[in-house]
Structure 1
Amino acid sequence: MGILFVVCGIAVVLVLTLAGVSKFGRAAETAGAMREFGLPARWADRAAPVLPAAELGIAVCLLTPGVAWAGALAATLFMALVTMLVTVALLQNRHPSCNCFGQVRAAPVSWGVALRSLLLTLCAAYVLWTGPAQLDQGLLAAAGKLAATPGAAVLASLAVACLFLLQGWLSLNLVRQQGRLLLKIDNLEQRLAAAGIPEHQFAPLTGPLPGSAAPAFSAVTLAGAAVSSSTLFGNGTPSLLLFVSADCAPCQDLLADLLAWRGAHPPRDRLVIVTSGTAQANRDKLGGLIGADALLQEEREINALFGVVATPSALLLGADGSIAAPIAIGKDQIMALVQGTRARDGAGLPGRHIAYS
Structure 2
Amino acid sequence: MPTDALALAPVILAVVLVVSAVGKLRAPSASAEAFRDLRVPAPLSSSLVVPALPWVELVLALALVALGGLPGAAAAVAALVLFTAYLVLVVRALGFDEDVECACFGEFAPGRISRRTVVRNAWLVALAAISVGAATQGSSVLTCIADGRLPWWWLVGAVAAAVTTWLVTGASAEAARQVEPTAYAQEEGDYVRYRTPALPVTLGDGTTTNLRALSSARAQLLLYVSDTCGSCEAIIEEAPEWSRELTPLDVRLVLRSTPDQTQLTSADEPRTVHDGEGLFVDSFGVHGTPSALLLGADGLLAGGPVVGVDNVRAFVDDVRAELGLLA
TM-score bucket (shorter structure): 0.3 to 0.5
**TM-score between both structures, scaled by the size of structure 1:** 0.43
Higher relative contact order, structure no. (Cα contacts within 8 Å, ≥ 6 residues apart)? 2
| Bigger fraction of residues in strand | 2
**TM-score between both structures, scaled by the size of structure 2:** 0.47
Larger Rg: 1
